[in-house]
Amino acid sequence: MAVYPTHGLTFKVGKAGDASAAIAVKDVYSIEPKLKGQVKTWNPLDQHGWQRALMTGKALTITHKGQRNEGDPGNDLIADLLLAVGSACTIPYEIDFPSGAKLSGNVVVDLSTPFGGASTDLSALEWDAVFDGAPIWTAA
Q: Which CATH number fits domain 6-138: 3.30.450, 1.10.3470, 3.90.25, 4.10.410?
A: 4.10.410
For the stretch 50-92, pLDDT in tens is 999 999 999 999 999 999 999 999 999 999 999 999 999 999 9
| pLDDT band with cut points at 50, 70 and 90 for residue 1 | low
For the stretch 12-29, pLDDT in tens is 999 988 878 799 999 999
> Which residues are CB-contacts of 83 (< 8 A; sequence separation ≥ 6)?
none
Q: How many CA atoms lie less than 13 Å away from 78 in the CB half-sphere?
A: 36
Task: Decide if 30 contacts 116 (C-beta within 8 A).
Answer: no
d(CA 102, CA 132): 17
